[in-house]
């Protein structure tokens, strides 16, 4: 599934609910899922991590939908030519500036 397909799937599944909830409410749900991913990374099983990564990505797509952002285009603009700092692949930025 591509990012475009993911955004459309989320829009089809939850678009009306997401619009009613709005960006602020959606952001709070997104942050809750990030917290659950954090817990899974610390002590969860591989399957739990997979599910939490999926949840975080789905809520990120929801936020993008609510904000009118095409994730595919945003990623292409930011990373399409390489590192945004040095434009190289792999990145050759000083680690001091890019941890």
> Is residue 33's pLDDT more than 80?
yes
3-state secondary structure the chain: CCHHHHHHHHHHHHHHHHHHHHHHHHHHHHHHHHHHHHHHHHHCCHHHHHHHHHHHHHHHHHHHHHHCCCHHHHHHHHHCCCCCCCCCCCCCCCCCCCC
> Is residue 81's pLDDT more than 90?
yes
Mean pLDDT of the chain: 96
Q: Report the CATH architecture of 3-68.
A: Orthogonal Bundle (1.10)
Q: What is the pLDDT of residue 99?
A: 58
Q: What's the pTM?
A: 0.91
Residue whose pair of structure tokens reads 């949840």 in the numeric block: 55
pLDDT per residue over 41-61, tens digit each?
999 999 999 999 999 999 999
Q: What is the pLDDT of residue 29?
A: 97
Backbone angles phi, psi at 35, to 5 degrees: -60, -40
């Amino acid at each position: 599934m591509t990012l475009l397909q993911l955004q459309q799937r989320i829009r089809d599944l939850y678009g009306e609910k997401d619009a009613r909830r709005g960006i602020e409410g959606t952001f709070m749900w997104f942050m809750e899922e990030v917290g659950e991913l954090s817990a899974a990374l610390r002590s969860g099983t591989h399957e739990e991590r997979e599910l939490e990564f999926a949840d975080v990505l789905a809520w990120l797509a929801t936020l993008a939908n609510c904000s009118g952002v095409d994730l595919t285009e945003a990623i292409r603009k930011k990373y399409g030519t390489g590192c945004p700092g040095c434009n190289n692949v792999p990145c050759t930025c000083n680690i001091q500036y890019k941890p």
